[in-house]
Structure 1
Amino acid sequence: MNKKNIYGSIITLFIVGAIIGFNYYQKIFGKAVTKETILYIGSKHSLDDVKKQLSTSIESPENFIWVANRKKFTTPKGGKYILKEGMSMNDLVNLLRSGNQTPIKISFNNQDTLEKLAGRISEQIETDSVSLLQTMLDDTFLKTNGFTKKSALGMYIPNSYEFYWNTSAKKFRAKMLREYKRFWNESRIKKAKNLNLTQDQVITLASIVQKETAQKVERPIVAGLYLNRLKNNWPLQADPTIIYCVKEVNGQDFIVKRVLTKDLEIISPYNTYKNTGLPPTLIAMPDISAIDAVLNYKKHSYYYMCASVEKIGFHEFANSLAQHNRNAAKYQRWISNRGINR
């Protein structure tokens, strides 16, 4: 073979090698992600499941498997991942292999039962509502931390919290307990003691204040009114507790637009027309403004209140029964004229 042929063969081999090398480089380090994508990987997902999810977001799903095999990546780590446009297969596989997922924000409020809370949370993380509810109602956990199945809802302080999408039910509960303890700081605990109320009792009263008020500005006033009644051993006579009793009898989805006289006769420890003092537990989930309204209540001489017909969403307050009766009569006429019977 002459030198010309040898040089030609070497050049050809070099070119072929360069092409093969470039192709391999492109497979591994070239742009692979075609658009920014939020990827949710379930805890039980396989590599093939991930490949299917990526099918519309990367240049070649087959290349993904090829690179993953070369990097010995076989078991995906569950979570939420943000894939940036232009990422290479190498970067993509490294991200998913590392488990360096992006946290999410979970928020909740106005959940009247643990069942509804579990449902709300399950809409935001991987864990299902059944697992969440079972964990929330675990007898050992409740007993250890001083809660009952009726009072457990009070442990979940409405707010926005950072979690990983694949957080388990137990880890969710554990963080909520930590947040509950953090919420009840030294200042709030001191204010509760000054009211001669436990933390649970503050939350119970706050749940009534929450249900009684549509306007946050009124909450410290309403809290002060109920505290006046408690201090003088008057029954709270809070309609939200009667609605709670009606729902206990008829189901949580039962709609109550008007409290009837017969409802006041329901035999229940939650009936604040028949019983003095606070109900045994909260009647709904109070938000932070309602809890702080109790702890920072407004001092006044009001003992009575009635929904206002002139300023919808607010109340008329009174410190005498005569004035209250006039306010109540006006409200009853207003509601009857609108044909609201239940």
Structure 2
Amino acid sequence: MFRKLVISVLIIVVLAGTYAGWQFFTANTAFPEKSKYLYIRTGHATWPEVSKSFHDSNLVKNPTALDLLATRWDVSEKLKAGRYELKQGMSLMDIARLLRNGTQAPVKLIITKLRTKENLAGFLGRKMEIDSADVINYLSNADSLQPFGFDSNTVMAMIYPNTYTYFWNASLNTIFDKFYTEYKKVWTEERRQQARNLGLTPAMAYTLASIVEEETTALDEKDTIASVYLNRFRKGMKLQADPTIKFAMRDFTLKRIYLKYLTVESPYNTYMNAGLPPGPICTPSLQTLDAVLQSPQTNYLYFVAKSDFSGHHVFSETYEQHLVKAKEFQKAQDIEQQKRAAAQDDIETPK
């Protein structure tokens, strides 16, 4: 009888051990997605807090077994803040090893077009651990920006559309160091010389490129539009760039710039202020920047959108020529608005 009892106990122990091993070494994720992310905030890298995340979420099937493994492996002593990717099918051993080694999943920041410092702050706040308010403070702090050679007006000229890779809890200095590294790569000696030939600094060239970027999506005429603004700039004329009015008003949905908008008080209003605005109005593409730097010599001082709404423009050397083309476009705009209003009436009128 005693022998049978011992054998029974041994069987139970073996089965329990087998079950425990099965829990630790086989797939234990509880989500159907390809992967999920665990975020451990700075200052909260303690196992009780991380354990609560596992118990409160649908990340693993057996969070209690993970607690046991984390204790035996001293995970809490080596735990680090960060963003960790939990892939479907991972075992508890895989997860514990991931956390103990601090193997973070990097964040890819894909920057395309941003218009304001607030846009950048919001973007970083959504993608990174950083609070957007801290980003705004950083962008407004002369001491923070001085090492890069920018101020609170020109700082966006450091940001070039590209893909940047960081750890989720990277500091603001780390983030902007990488922005600045990309900025230096863009501004080769060849591009710097091209800017000098136009009488521009890199920041001025970037600011002009930002205006051109907002003026048109037609790559084949960006260099010509740039030549118009350069001609005005050299003659001391006001640039009178409609996109700067949208920026000054912080209303990027405007389709038509009316006379009443042209008096908005802002250093970015190029109808009221001569020269370039104090900083860029968006983050232009590298293609647009090169179009500015390689702009041809022309005598054009004016341009207006074509009346066929093709997205292209017609250029003029004199104001008289420009008025004719401008009236054609305004007439086309009025007709288009009338058509839209009529179509709306048809929709709203009971049949």
Question: Given the two structures, how large is their TM-score scaled by the length of structure 1?
Answer: 0.84
Equivalent position to 2:216, from 213, 218, 226: 213
Instruction: Note closer, same or farther for the CA distance 1:253–1:235 as it changes in structure 2 (3 Å cut).
Output: closer
CA contact (8 A) 1:108 1:121 kept: no
Instruction: Note closer, same or farther for the CA distance 1:16–1:238 as it changes in structure 2 (3 Å cut).
Output: closer
Instruction: Note closer, same or farther for the CA distance 1:112–1:90 as it changes in structure 2 (3 Å cut).
Output: same
Q: Distance in 2 between matches of 1:236 and 1:31?
A: 64
CA contact (8 A) 2:27 2:91 kept: yes
Is residue 2:277 matched to residue 1:279?
yes
Amino acid in the other structure paired with 1:47: W
Indicate the residue corresponding to 1:112 in structure 2: 115
Instruction: Note closer, same or farther for the CA distance 1:234–1:22 as it changes in structure 2 (3 Å cut).
Output: same
After superposing the two structures, state which structure 1 stretch, 209-218 or 112-121, moved more: 209-218
Q: Distance in 1 between matches of 2:5 and 2:267?
A: 96
Amino acid in the other structure paired with 2:312: F
Indicate the residue corresponding to 1:159 in structure 2: 162
Equivalent position to 2:84, from 78, 81, 86: 81
CA contact (8 A) 2:156 2:279 kept: no
Equivalent position to 2:29, from 24, 28, 33: 33
CA contact (8 A) 2:36 2:86 kept: yes
Deviation string, structure 1 residues 290-336 (Cα, Å, up to 9, x no partner): 22221122444422201111133221112333321110111222334
CA contact (8 A) 1:37 1:57 kept: no
Amino acid in the other structure paired with 1:50: V
Amino acid in the other structure paired with 2:326: A
Is residue 2:103 matched to residue 1:100?
yes
* Distance apart, 1:85 and its partner CA: 3.2
Count of residues in Structure 1 that have an aligned counterpart in Structure 2: 331
Indicate the residue corresponding to 2:288 in structure 1: 290
Q: Distance in 2 between matches of 1:244 and 1:85?
A: 45
- Over the residues paired in the alignment, what is the CA RMSD in angstroms? 2.8
Unaligned runs of 5+ residues in structure 1 are: none
* Distance apart, 1:70 and its partner CA: 0.8
Is residue 2:66 matched to residue 1:61?
no
Unaligned runs of 5+ residues in structure 2 are: 341-351
Q: Distance in 2 between matches of 1:269 and 1:118?
A: 22
Is residue 2:20 matched to residue 1:18?
no
Deviation string, structure 1 residues 237-265 (Cα, Å, up to 9, x no partner): 322234444x1xxxx24864433335445
CA contact (8 A) 1:42 1:166 kept: no
Indicate the residue corresponding to 1:51 in structure 2: 51
CA contact (8 A) 2:306 2:313 kept: yes
Amino acid in the other structure paired with 2:163: S
CA contact (8 A) 1:135 1:170 kept: no
Indicate the residue corresponding to 1:305 in structure 2: 303
* Distance apart, 1:276 and its partner CA: 4.0
CA contact (8 A) 1:188 1:295 kept: yes
Amino acid in the other structure paired with 1:71: W
CA contact (8 A) 2:246 2:252 kept: no
Q: Distance in 1 between matches of 2:4 and 2:282?
A: 85
Equivalent position to 2:179, from 149, 153, 176: 176
